Structure 1
């Protein structure tokens, strides 16, 4: 779980307090109007610094920091150059551009040295240490924290000293140096108590609880974490409370007191749900799954782990869908804009021709002008063509396998290839025609898309290649376009996961328009793969093995995986199968078939190492 999330929030809060206690966008907006009405250069620099200091948007803070730096250089004002580079570093740090943030902070450190500003030197060193800590460079983070702390010890800013000590202690906790972490965090807690800074003291006590838990001082860890939670309740810092409740659950779990551990984990989950703390909700689900696993409640553990995966993936999927929609919209707009640009250019050329005919006296001048415009048009047209070519290549790589797409772009065609060992999977929804008659077209397409989108994720996870969908039938293969040693094993795991997903959907999504029953068929053997068509390219596979896989699906039953003799021989050492005997198959005669049996409460590992539950 994200044990350092609340710590990082705390660091950001404290460093904002060094600059202006809190960034205020309204103040920044007011200052912008003042800046554009000021005439004096000195007044302009002061207002620019205030704008950059109060901007909440990183891009806007970077913009005004750069403007402050430019004008400060022109005015020869080193103090404002120090402030400008420091604010520039803050902007890049908030954007996650650590390389540019370090460049800016080192420049601010140079100007602090030239000004002999001891506090400025200490702040710059600690800002640099924070960036190294965020980027995982422990050695440099430790070096610059110590430099900053040494300067702060000689000053009077106790809050900043406490902040630097806390950050250094947090870094030592991250790398496992618990004694040093405890030393620095204890000192930070004493300073925050002395200056009456309850938020800083709460976070310090929370980290001390984690440190003592790792050192085996469970009673002291519990005392520290409970004290932190009491302080945070007074401050309404609910996100930090949720995090520390999970830490208490860890402590009691280590002590073997599962009942109390469950109480704290459930309190964290309830609090996170109440205030919408998405990261802590996922952490709480995972913690409850671990606790149930420790006491042997496998089914309950699996349910919470499934909630953890579902909640985590739902957040990721929303982001992915939004990004894909934006990409598609931008592509369509760019195509339309290209057509408009070309049409406008043609109209301009026609106007040039008319002018050249009517104005004979200026024929030579118009000719030269026309040639210039033509060359300019050709250059722009070539740029447009190049952009469209790049877009086309990108789309082609999404449609075809990487190697196949490259071969098609280089030679204009794709040589069909024979694969001696591959496995093919077909699925089909039972009673699909009945659903298509009772549902609206929109609802039917939405339901099919929901299932097939999840199938896509499952086969990608197991290294399979999607071939195509035909109506309600889904087809994929293992061992193409690149040979795969365990192709039959991999495709079997994918089939089991598809079957499990369909069953879970019926339970977890009762409001969905259609809940399909699925049949799955698998066969293994040689096949031929290549690209068909001259315009709408499609990667496809052919051969008797493919036809047999289709027959396996049509001969399967709802909720069953039907496999051929060839596939059975490849997977019988890893999966339990039930022999069905020989069954009549069109154009093939009597063919032996097997059902993959359902085995309850058994976990096996797929090739990627992740557990797959059979139900």
Structure 2
């Protein structure tokens, strides 16, 4: 990254002498994208802001460059969690991209808006922009993006309690992802399972988990572990404690044979809480202690969500 930064600064020194504003801005955008991809989001945001400042300083009018910069600034704010700024810059980028008819980037900007409004629990606005993004991407036949939006819409409708509409969009997403062999289909199926659990339709939830287990590869440990957590949750809600206990014990055996300490700690704590709720206090203390010891060893704290 340091080498890339140095090249960028060297190039910009030359561009400044030549007063080549387009090249200066393009250079900042380029280094910003590299920095963002490496995970340094705040630093990337700074580069994109510098690009915008250059345009303003030189009073250089280029609506496409301006739209690009606003889009990347919105992307950074959304990643950091600055929801209001993400919405503000998304709207700025949207207005310019709409005029320019850059449909792909316009659609991506609408997606950021939808996600940002979703984080604010503004369901109506989230749905509105997700639908508009879906229409835009359908125009450019970007199936992967459409599937992503349909999955996002399904989650938003579920959050608002409209499960009928949620299932409609999630099933569309599954179909699209099947057509292009998109591995993220598993994530969408987990969302469908969550809907069934919320509706207390546990048998359908079990069917979805069975589908997922059949589809995922042997080395997809994250999905296998997630399946076990879903199964445990379903069996607890069905008050089938023997099955719930068996899932966790089998899960612990499975995780002990792979290098996933945090997941192992999660399962120890889940089992400890399970035993506590079923009145087996000694076993509860044993497994809670095991889990907490692993968390401490990793410098983590007990997860409230477990």
TM-score, length of structure 2 as denominator length: 0.78
Contact 1:128 1:141 in 2 (8 A): yes
How far is the alpha carbon of 1:91 from its aligned partner?
2.1
Larger helix proportion of the pair: 2
8 A contact 1:86–1:108 mirrored in 2 = yes
Question: How large is the Cα RMSD of the aligned pairs?
Answer: 3.2
**Which structure dedicates a bigger proportion of its chain to strand?**
1
Q: 1:211 aligns with which of 156, 179, 184?
A: 156
Q: Name 1:99's counterpart in structure 2.
A: 42
> Does the 8 A contact of 1:148 with 1:164 survive in 2?
yes
Q: Give the structure 1 partner of residue 239 of structure 2.
A: 296
Identify which of 254, 257, 280 aligns with 2:198. Answer: 254
Runs of 4+ aligned residues of structure 1 deviating over 6 Å after TM superposition are: 492-495, 498-501
CA distance 1:294–1:99, shift in 2 (3 Å): same
Counting only pairs closer than 5 Å after superposition, residues 502-541 of structure 1 correspond to structure 2 as: none
CA contact (8 A) 1:78 1:115 kept: yes
Are 1:143 and 2:88 matched, yes or no? yes
Q: How much has 1:298 moved relative to structure 2?
A: 2.5
Distance 1:180 1:259, change over 3 A: same
- Write out per-residue CA displacement over residues 48-81 of structure 1, whole angstroms, 9 at most, x where no aligned residue: xxxxxxxxxx666545444433432344321111
Change (3 A) 1:226 1:495: closer
Change (3 A) 1:62 1:254: same
- Equivalents in 1 of 2:20, 2:32: separation in Å? 19
Deviation of residue 207 (structure 1)?
0.9
**Counterparts of residues 50-65 of structure 1 (less than 5 Å):** 61-62=4-5, 64-65=7-8
Alignment size in residue pairs: 274
Deviations 1:302-361 (A, max 9, x none): 44446279749954559xxxxxxxxxxxxxxxxxxxxxxxxxxxxxxxxxxxxxxxxxxx
Bigger-Rg structure (1/2): 1
Structure 2 match to 1:90: 33
Deviations 1:576-608 (A, max 9, x none): xxxxxxxxxxxxxxxxxxxxxxxxxxxxxxxx7
Q: Which runs of 5+ in 1 are unaligned?
A: 1-57, 319-453, 459-491, 502-607, 611-615
What is the CA–CA distance in structure 1 between the aligned matches of 2:192 and 2:255, rounded to whole Å?
23
Of the three residues 282, 286, 297, the one matched with 1:496 is: 286
What is the CA–CA distance in structure 2 between the aligned matches of 1:297 and 1:269, rounded to whole Å?
21
Query: 1:68 aligns to what?
Result: 11
Q: Of 259, 268, 280, which aligns to 2:223?
A: 280
Call closer, same or farther: CA 1:115–1:182 in 2, change over 3 Å: same
Q: Is the 8 A contact 1:153 1:161 kept in 2?
A: yes
- State how far apart, in whole Å, the 1-side matches of 2:121 and 2:285 are: 42
Task: Find 1:77's aligned residue among 20, 42, 52.
Answer: 20
Q: Distance in 2 between matches of 1:295 and 1:161?
A: 46
Deviation per CA, 1:238-270, whole angstroms, max 9, x where unpaired?
1x2000000110112222221111121232344
Instruction: Tell me the secondary structure at the aligned position of residue 176 of structure 1.
Output: coil
**1:221-232 equivalence runs, <5 A:** 221-232=166-177
Give the Cα–Cα distance (whole angstroms) in 2 for the partners of residues 166 and 134 of structure 1.
Answer: 13
